[in-house]
Amino acid sequence: MNVIPSSTSHLGAVGPVYTDTHVSSPFPYQFLLLLVLIAPLLYSFVYNAILNCASPVLSINIFPRKIVVTDPSMESALSRHTSETSLANVIFLIGRRVFGLSDSSIQAIGGYDPRPVHVGEFSSASNARALLAAMAETTGQKLQSQPDVQETELGPWLFKLTSSAVASALWGPESPWVVDEEFQNQFMELSGSQMTLLRPFSKYTAKAAHTARAFIINRLQAAHANNRASRVRQIAHRINAVVMSDPEWESNKDYFNVELLTSLGLMVTPSTMAVWMIRHLLLRPDLLDRVVKEARNPDALDEQGNIDLVRIRESFPFLAACLYETLRLHMTAIPRVAKADFDVAVPNSQPIHLKSGDLIYLAMSSFNRNTETWGSDASTFSPERLLNNAGGLSASMVRKLRVFGVAGNLCPGRKVGLETIMYVVASVLREFDIENPRGEREQYPEPRTEDGFGIGFERCANDINIRLRRVA
Ligand code: HEM
């Protein structure tokens, strides 16, 4: 899932709204996204509507296109239209400006349905096992190479560790996300600033993102030249739309632009969620102690003394509850683009007519922060709510979450993503104590959410320093 810096808070449910604001304008279509994402006036209106949408549908006709924000009651109606709505088609809106893609690559990406390929690559039991094994090996090596005591900023440290674990599984252990520190820094920079590339005159108004993007593409090209044989065997190569559409893919610069797009899509969500989870736990030492005890329980290990990946959810139910609770609080909304004209049934109202190219936002947060489902403390981090009486993960509560997608389209990497975060965090907590360098009695600051328009998930705005001390 993609990352865009996101807004702070969920402001509680708004009253029923059906807005149909027609503003005729000569602007070209690409400015639609630009305005929606950036214009401060539209920002709070649309974003709060997305987070809090309490009516069946909020429809905004600003340009020739429509933006439709839906709420939970629309889920079953929309799930009948998964083939007409697509996440990949968002590339028509942002592909050129954010990723520098040519029109032919944009057509290639938008022109096929990647879902069957993705499901095969990420969800099959044998592939998921192989991906998790590669991820675990890199995590182990990275943690081994850490100093016994270090002070560091939690966010970048954990983001890089988690993204290198995912990258080693999808791009291979010699990929720059794993071995190249400077590349990782630029990748992290771009993961936070990619949408600034939609600004007008972005060469001047989004310099950091431009520099990071150019740096990354150059290093990806160099890494490809140096490790070609192993790279073309990796999943990331097999799912690259340029490989599928252009026999001359190797000399097509878009091959690397698509690599960047894919990596931002697949690595940043797990990495950001790992950081959020530890931030929440550091504010609640009682919960952190419980997770640490679970992570260090020798019964969770396999015969070789490693965390048993096959049983990871059963071994670490409280850690799993903390992770789901983190996703509940920080996953926001999914954009989809209509691929054809169709009508969607709206409860107690006229059907809504969507035209090819209209944008649909599916608000996950309106499920996840609904006080009727989650209680009056729905905005509080409280992982116990996801446990059953026996202390296991409550399947019925987990089913109420919408964190891996809505309306019939689910993340094909959900098992790998969830288990990667659990493995990385459990491994860190097995190997290291986390200390507050400002003193044991000092409280960490509350994490704040980045301002900006949010699609997918929220990012944390304020970092903290921690001391990591290897457990004797
Ligand atoms: C905790 C981590 C993750 C979360 C919360 C997450 C969440 C999501 C969400 C919400 C979507 C959009 C689904 C929709 O259209 O409704 C999505 C799509 C996707 N995710 Fe994930 N994801 C995670 C990790 C991963 C990982 C590790 C991979 C790959 C190994 C992955 C692969 C994908 C792909 C390929 C899609 C696009 C599917 C399509 O084209 O329809 N995800 N993810």
- For 345-376, write each residue's pLDDT tens digit: 887 888 889 999 898 888 888 889 999 999 99
Q: What is the pLDDT of residue 130?
A: 95
Cα of 90 to ligand 1 centre, how many Å? Answer: 14
For ligand 1, pick from 411, 414, 415, 419 the residue to mutate: most ligand atoms within 8 Å of CB.
411
- For the CA of 170, the closest atom of ligand 1 is 30
334 lines ligand 1 (CB under 6 A): yes
413 lines ligand 1 (CB under 6 A): yes
DSSP letters, 238-279, are HT-HHHHH-TTGGG-THHHHHHHHHHHHHHHHHHHHHHHHHH
Q: Which residue has the higher pLDDT, 48 or 429?
A: 429
Band of residue 5 on the pLDDT scale cut at 50, 70, 90: very low
Calpha distance 157→161 (Å, rounded): 6
Cα of 415 to ligand 1 centre, how many Å? Answer: 10
Q: Give percent of the chain with pLDDT exceeding 90.
A: 66
Q: Quickly count: other Cβ atoms within 10 Å of residue 437's Cβ.
A: 11
Range of lowest pLDDT (305-309, 321-325, 348-352):
348-352
User: How confident is the prediction for the chain on average, in pLDDT?
Assistant: 87
Q: Quickly count: other Cβ atoms within 10 Å of residue 89's Cβ.
A: 22
Range of lowest pLDDT (92-101, 271-280, 358-367):
358-367
Q: What is the pLDDT of residue 49?
A: 61
- E-assigned strand segments in 135-209: 149-153
**Beta strands at 359-363 and 66-70: parallel, antiparallel or unpaired:** parallel
Cα of 404 to ligand 1 centre, how many Å? Answer: 6
- For the CA of 323, the closest atom of ligand 1 is 1
C-alpha 462 chain-centroid distance: 18
Q: Give percent of the chain with pLDDT exceeding 70.
A: 87
**Identity of residue 278:** I
Cα of 140 to ligand 1 centre, how many Å? Answer: 24
What pTM does this model have?
0.89
Q: What is the mean pLDDT of residues 435-443?
A: 93
- Is residue 39 predicted with pLDDT exceeding 60? no
- Is residue 18 predicted with pLDDT exceeding 50? no
Calpha distance 8→162 (Å, rounded): 24
374 lines ligand 1 (CB under 6 A): no
Q: Residue 393: helix, strand or coil by DSSP?
A: strand
Whose structure tokens read 């999943």?
A: 235
Least Cα distance to 68 among 80, 57, 78 occurs for 57
Residue identifier of the C-alpha nearest atom 26 of ligand 1? 413
For ligand 1, pick from 135, 328, 404, 419 the residue to mutate: most ligand atoms within 8 Å of CB.
404
> Rounded to the nearest 10 degrees, how much is the dihedral formed by the CA atoms of 54, 354, 356, 39?
-40
Cα of 436 to ligand 1 centre, how many Å? Answer: 33
Residue identifier of the C-alpha nearest atom 24 of ligand 1? 417
241 lines ligand 1 (CB under 6 A): no
Q: What is the pLDDT of residue 45?
A: 58
72 lines ligand 1 (CB under 6 A): no
Calpha distance 82→360 (Å, rounded): 12
Calculate ∠ Cα 81-336-24, nearest 5°.
105
Ordered structural domains, the chain, with CATH? 11-470 (1.10.630.10)
316 lines ligand 1 (CB under 6 A): no
Cα of 146 to ligand 1 centre, how many Å? Answer: 30
- For the CA of 418, the closest atom of ligand 1 is 1
Please list, in sequence order, all residues whose beta carbon lies within 8 angstroms of the beta carbon of residue 69, skipping any fewer than 6 positions away: 46, 49, 50, 53, 57, 58, 59, 60, 333, 360, 361, 363
> How far is the first Cα of the chain from the last one, in angstroms, to the nearest whole number?
38
- Is residue 142 predicted with pLDDT exceeding 70? yes
Q: Tell which phi-psi region holds residue 179, choosing left (phi > 0), alpha (psi between -120 and 50) or beta.
A: alpha
Band of residue 72 on the pLDDT scale cut at 50, 70, 90: confident
Cα of 411 to ligand 1 centre, how many Å? Answer: 4
406 lines ligand 1 (CB under 6 A): yes
327 lines ligand 1 (CB under 6 A): yes
Q: What is the mean pLDDT of residues 276-285?
A: 98
Residue identifier of the C-alpha nearest atom 18 of ligand 1? 411
- For the CA of 118, the closest atom of ligand 1 is 35
Q: Quickly count: other Cβ atoms within 10 Å of residue 322's Cβ.
A: 29
Residue identifier of the C-alpha nearest atom 12 of ligand 1? 405
